[in-house]
Amino acid sequence: MDFLPLFFNLKSRQVLLIGGGDIALRKARLLKRAGVFLTVVSHTVEDELKAMLVDAHDQIIIGEYHSGLLDGKTLVVAATDDRSLHERVHFDAIERNIPINVVDTPSLCTFIFPAIVDRSPIVIGISSGGESPVLARLLRARLETLIPNGYSRLGALVGRFRHQVKATFGSVNQRRRFWEHVLEGQIAEKVFSGRDDEAEALLKAAIDKGETGHQVGEVYLVGAGPGDPELLTFKALRLMQQADVVFYDNLVSAEVLDLCRRDADLIYVGKKRDNHAVPQDGINALLVQHAQQGKRVVRLKGGDPFIFGRGGEELETLKSHGIPFQVVPGITAASACSTYAGIPLTHRGYAQSVKFVTGQLKNRKDKLNFAELVHPNQTVVFYMGLHTLPTLAEGLIEHGKPGSTPVAIVSKGTAADQKVLTGTLADIAEKQAKAQLEAPALIIVGEVVALQEQLAWFGDKVDEQNITHALGMIKGEDKSSC
Feature table: binding site for NAD(+): 22-23, 43-44
What amino acid is encoded at 60 in this protein?
Answer: I
- Cβ pair 27, 79 in contact under 8 A: yes
- Cβ pair 300, 248 in contact under 8 A: yes
- Cβ pair 455, 393 in contact under 8 A: no
What amino acid is encoded at 398 in this protein?
Answer: E
- Cβ pair 312, 342 in contact under 8 A: no
Dist CA 445 CA 428 (whole Å): 10
DSSP 213-231: S----EEEEEE-BTS-GGG
**Collapsed DSSP state (helix, strand, coil) of residue 287:** helix
**Which residues are the active-site residues?**
249, 271
Interaxial angle between packed helices 428-435 and 464-474, expressed in degrees from 0 to 180 and rounded to the nearest 10: 100
Q: Which residues contact 15 (CB under 8 A, 6 or more apart)?
A: 31, 36, 37, 38, 39, 73, 74, 75, 76, 77
For residue 419, the surrounding DSSP H or E stretch is strand 419-424
- Cβ pair 149, 119 in contact under 8 A: yes
Residue 128, CA distances (Å) to 3, 102, 113, 139, 283 in order: 9, 15, 10, 10, 48
Return binding residues for S-adenosyl-L-methionine: 226, 302-304, 307, 332-333, 384, 413
